[in-house]
Structure 1
């Protein structure tokens, strides 16, 4: 037995309409905007989702470091464990992104276990198998006292039947709004906890996949994983799941879970729109700066990274603009000589920060915090 999808209240429907309006507007803006600068935003949002979802499980890597790792940088100062978890999550998320418009798509046991192997294969062992249902009990321990089980998953013997029911549900349109179905899928999977480990990240990833399959926006613009990874929101996330009880109790009203997710969708949509607007404004400022200094417009992508994310690496600039190693090095040396950038770190791990002559207006725009509204 799975949880029943609750009937939306008038306030819920109003919030859903607001989310849809924001998503439609962002979709229109993305389609009418050159991809030259939106590509960087896409990569940042993907890295933000990966870093945030991993942080919920205790793997701490900054979004900027996660992005460097995901673009192939080797000299990133993170632990080997955090490196492995970041790259594993990236592989799974990359595959999820490719499934956005896959034809003849169906959910099945093989897909879910395959995604789990991508995430947890490097931990595979007889005691904690990856890519297959668990064979023993699973617990979520209380963060304040690891000797206390805050939640105990269903008996392992029940897992195959519950997952077969979930797969059938995933492949059947019950008429619910796609965002509501995605939230319910998250709750179903995180409550069944079919694997020995990785259930939280798999549940959040399934929600992202379902939103992506809905077709409105690419998954990097749709995921709420970054929102869930903010410290205060993570606490609320655990609290909301805790309200479901210490054991699997699907015969209950989960309206609170739906409301929580609608707040997440709404505020993440606000956040993405804010990042989009900020990114576009900064790109315009830096384009004017490049023109006023008779510099090649390609340097804008390097300066844009510095303004938006705090730094740029040579390899990232080289890849973004399709430059040779020598061209990228020359551009960055000239920007350093002009006082626009300041290098930090060793040769291979070198990054470039804003120098004393970096356009101050771009930094002011980047540093101005956005305000999020509470949709209820």
Structure 2
């Protein structure tokens, strides 16, 4: 038995929040279409890296978003532990595959798909005791964050996992007429509660939610994930609390309306965040374009300066690839910007990156560093 979807129990306020989310996502789609690709491409990469960094952080693997971006770019000289590097790259590979599935024809959910995704995520940790890409063969527990000797949640017995997953897969492939965002939230709850694998269940559940939303077709997967929102410390604790409210064992015959409202808040605030970052990115780009024009710099260096303003730093390889430059051209541009005091190098040889120098245009930094305010749709 799976949790019953609480659509009939949702009230008028929930319906209003859903309408607002739909409107925001549709507006964001038009905003993306109207924004130059040089900024949307960078935003896509950032959002993918942010989702990977946040979802991994929930599981205890701490890698900053900017470092995830570097690892995604193939940078080897990134100061992260071997474990964190492996987890980051594995999750990024799985997310990349998920992104290709958003418009795949003749798509169906199935045991093979879910286990293949799990192998991408956990294959590097495959052991006989904790097999990757296969349903678990024994018990699994989620321990209390404050005391690992206490089981905050005990998943269903391994013997019933195949039947529960068959039921879930049938549910995923059925057309119930329920709002897609509600179904995606329920899919997350179903999968994380069954806990069908020995490890990696949280990330798999969050990824399934992302895939379902992306399959809707309104926004690409990079703009559909709420993983970055869930990874913020305060939200992570609320996430744990919502799951804990379901009980210490699998009790699907209960009202989970609060779980839906938690997810609607996440969808709403993540849409606000993405729209705000896209707007800020465009305004930073405008300020940098004005700066390069007034100083006689080549327009292409805006790409490097934009990374510094928005992310805090840029590497030569990223600038080189983004602008399609030769190694020598990229090195010369960055050297000239350093000589002019616009950029400042940090580190040596391959590990070198560049940050804002004393003559970096302050208006661009002011725009990039001005925080935005998020509103809670249920309290405003």
- Give the alignment's TM-score, normalised by structure 2: 0.98
1:260 CA displacement: 0.2
Which residues of 2 match residues 56-75 of structure 1 at below 5 A? 56-75=58-77
C-alpha deviations, 1:247-267, integer Å up to 9, x for none?
A: 000000000000000000000
Structure 2 counterpart of 1:183, from 182, 185, 189:
185
The equivalent of 1:4 in structure 2 is 4
C-alpha deviations, 1:109-154, integer Å up to 9, x for none?
A: 0000000000000000000000000000000000111111000000
Structure 2 counterpart of 1:117, from 116, 119, 126:
119
1:19 CA displacement: 0.6
C-alpha deviations, 1:221-263, integer Å up to 9, x for none?
A: 1100000000000000000000000000000000000000000
Q: Structure 2 unaligned runs (5+)? A: none
The equivalent of 2:249 in structure 1 is 247
Q: Structure 1 unaligned runs (5+)? A: none
Distance 1:102 1:32 in 2: 25
Which residues of 2 match residues 316-327 of structure 1 at below 5 A? 316-327=318-329
C-alpha deviations, 1:269-300, integer Å up to 9, x for none?
A: 00001101100000000011111111111100
The equivalent of 2:353 in structure 1 is 351
Distance 1:38 1:354 in 2: 22
1:68 CA displacement: 0.3
What's the secondary structure of 2:148's corresponding residue? strand
The equivalent of 1:259 in structure 2 is 261
Distance 1:68 1:159 in 2: 38
The equivalent of 1:196 in structure 2 is 198
Distance 2:375 2:95 in 1: 29
The equivalent of 2:333 in structure 1 is 331
What's the secondary structure of 1:353's corresponding residue? strand
- Give the alignment's TM-score, normalised by structure 1: 0.99
The equivalent of 2:209 in structure 1 is 207
The equivalent of 1:167 in structure 2 is 169
The equivalent of 1:95 in structure 2 is 97
What's the secondary structure of 1:106's corresponding residue? coil
C-alpha deviations, 1:135-183, integer Å up to 9, x for none?
A: 0000000011111100000000000000000000000011111100000
C-alpha deviations, 1:22-67, integer Å up to 9, x for none?
A: 1111100111222112101110010000000000000000000011
Distance 1:239 1:180 in 2: 19
What's the secondary structure of 2:101's corresponding residue? helix
C-alpha deviations, 1:293-329, integer Å up to 9, x for none?
A: 1111110010000000000000010111111100100
What's the secondary structure of 1:101's corresponding residue? coil
1:212 CA displacement: 0.4
Distance 1:37 1:258 in 2: 33
What's the secondary structure of 1:39's corresponding residue? helix
C-alpha deviations, 1:329-360, integer Å up to 9, x for none?
A: 00000000111000001211001000000000
CA-atom RMSD in angstroms: 0.5
The equivalent of 1:372 in structure 2 is 374
The equivalent of 1:225 in structure 2 is 227
Distance 2:286 2:67 in 1: 26
1:87 CA displacement: 0.1
Distance 2:45 2:16 in 1: 31
Distance 1:72 1:33 in 2: 27
